[in-house]
Amino acid sequence: MSLAFAGRGRVACALLIAVSFTTTAAGASAERGYHSAVVVAADTGQTLVEQDADAQWEPASLVKMMLSLVARERAVTTAFHMLTPVRTSAYASKMGGSQVYLKHGEVFTLSSMLQAMEIASANDASVAVAEAIAGSTDATVDLMNFRARELGMAATTFVNVHGLPTAPGEAGNVTTARDMATLARALLTEHPGILLTGSTKTAPFRGGEFILYNTNKQFLQAFDGADGLKTGYHKAAKYNIAATAQREDMRLIAVVLGADSGDKRTRGVSRLLDSAFATYKRDTVVDAGERLPDQVYVEGSAHRYAPLQVAGDLAIFAKRSDFANVRIVPTDIPVLQAPIAAGTPAGMIVARLGGRELGKAPLVVAETVDRAPFLWRVWHWRTPRPTRGRFLQAGAQLAGGF
C-alpha cells in the first residue's frame, strides 16, 4: 500500500486501527472475565503481572482504602486517635448500600467505625469517619486526592468517601488497577494492622446486636495465605478487589477491576496470585553475621587486612529460575585506618542479576584491628598500599552465594 494516500484514507485507517484496538481490548477482557488487573510484590513494588493495568475504571468501595489510609495517618495525636468518639450525623445515618444502620447521634470509637468500614464496607460508617477527620466529606475527599497525588496515583480521582455511584451526568470516582495496587501497598507498608481487620471474617458490632460480615470472605476462604484486603461493587463498576496474600516470606498484592461476577473476581485474582507465587520467590541469599571470603585492607595495621561480615540479612525477590544466576559482590569498600573496632562500617554487599541490583546489605569489620607499633610502622612505611579500588584481598569467587 502506498504511504501517499489521501487525508480521508488516513482518517479511515486511524478509525479502523482504533476500532481494532478497542475490539481486541474488549475481547481480552471478555475472555478473562474482568476489565483489568495487576500483581505487585508488596515489599519492593515490582510489577509481576499486568493486564490493561493503566486503563481507568470505577473503584466502587475500593475508595474506602484511601479513607482508611488518611484516617490511620491522622489518628496519632491526643486530639484524634483510635479511641476518639465519632458521632453519627444525620447525613451519615441516611447512607444507602452496605451499612451498619447507624442512628443519628449514635457514637462509636474511631476504631469501631473503621472496623465497620473495613470489614463490612459500611457506607454510613465511612461518612462518619470522614466527617470526624476533616469536618465534612468534601474536605476529606480533598485530603484523599492530595494523598493520591503524593503516592503517584496520577490516574485516580476521588469524588466521594464511600465509592457509591454518583448521579447521572456527574463525574464519578476513577482509578486504575496499578493505582489501586499502589494504594494497597502504602496501606500495608505504613499500617500493617489493617490485616487484622482485612482477615477478620466476622466481628460483633453494637455490643453484639449486629454482626459484621467481611465482604471479602469468599477470597479469604478460597485462597491459601489470603489475609486481605478490600472488595468493591456497584452495577457500573462491576466486581472489584484489592487482594493480598502471604506464602512463606513473600507477600503479594493483586488488583482485579470490573469482573463480571463475584465468582469470576475470586477465580481471576486467585489465578493471578497462584501463578505469581509459583514463578517468583523471596529468599535470603546471605545471612546476617556471615563472613566474606574477602578481607578489607587496613592501613597502619601489622596484619594489613581484616575480615568482613554481613551486618544484616541480604534478601532478594526474583524469578525462581533466576536465583542460580544471581551474583553477590562487595562494593563501596572504604579506606580504613587502624585502630578499627569490630562492627565498623566497611561498605556494602550487593546481589545483582545482569545489570540489575536486587538487594544489598551493609558490611562491617568482623574483628577489632589494633594499630601497629611505631617502630613497625617506620620499618614498613615504604610498603605500597593497594591501588584505588583494590582495598579487598580476594577470596573465593562470589557467585550465587559464598
Q: What CATH number has the domain bearing residue 183? A: 3.40.710.10
Closest Cα partner for 128 from 96, 172, 159, 161?
A: 161
Let me know whether 65 and 187 are in one domain.
yes
**Residue 260: what pLDDT?**
97
Domain boundaries, position 43: 34-281
Confirm whether 327 is domain-assigned.
yes
All 3 cell numbers of residue 108? 462509636
Domain end, chosen from 246, 281, 316, is at 281
Confirm whether 22 is domain-assigned.
no
**Residue 283: what pLDDT?**
92
Let me know whether 128 and 258 are in one domain.
yes
pLDDT digits (tens, 9 = 90+) for 280-303: 999 999 999 999 888 888 877 767
Let me know whether 252 and 311 are in one domain.
no
Domain end, chosen from 281, 300, 323, is at 281
Let me know whether 258 and 113 are in one domain.
yes
Confirm whether 294 is domain-assigned.
yes
Q: Which amino acid is at 98?
A: S
301 vs 344: CA distance, rounded Å: 15
Q: Which amino acid is at 133?
A: I
Number of domains in the chain: 2
Q: Are 159 and 166 in contact (CB under 8 A)?
A: yes
383 vs 374: CA distance, rounded Å: 15
**Residue 295: what pLDDT?**
85
Let me know whether 117 and 83 are in one domain.
yes
Helix (H, G, I), strand (E, B) or coil at 177: helix
Let me know whether 372 and 262 are in one domain.
no
Let me know whether 227 and 357 are in one domain.
no
Let me know whether 295 and 277 are in one domain.
no
CA atoms within 13 A on the CB side of 244: 29
Ranges of the chain with pLDDT below 50 = 1-24, 387-391, 394-402
How many beta carbons lie within 10 A of that of residue 26, not counting itself? Answer: 11
Let me know whether 106 and 124 are in one domain.
yes
User: Are β-strands 85-87 and 47-51 bridged in parallel, bridged antiparallel, or unpaired?
Assistant: unpaired
All 3 cell numbers of residue 86? 465519632
Domain end, chosen from 264, 281, 298, is at 281
Let me know whether 233 and 89 are in one domain.
yes
Closest Cα partner for 218 from 261, 182, 250, 188?
A: 261
**Residue 12: what pLDDT?**
40
pLDDT digits (tens, 9 = 90+) for 97-133: 999 999 999 999 999 999 999 999 999 999 999 999 9
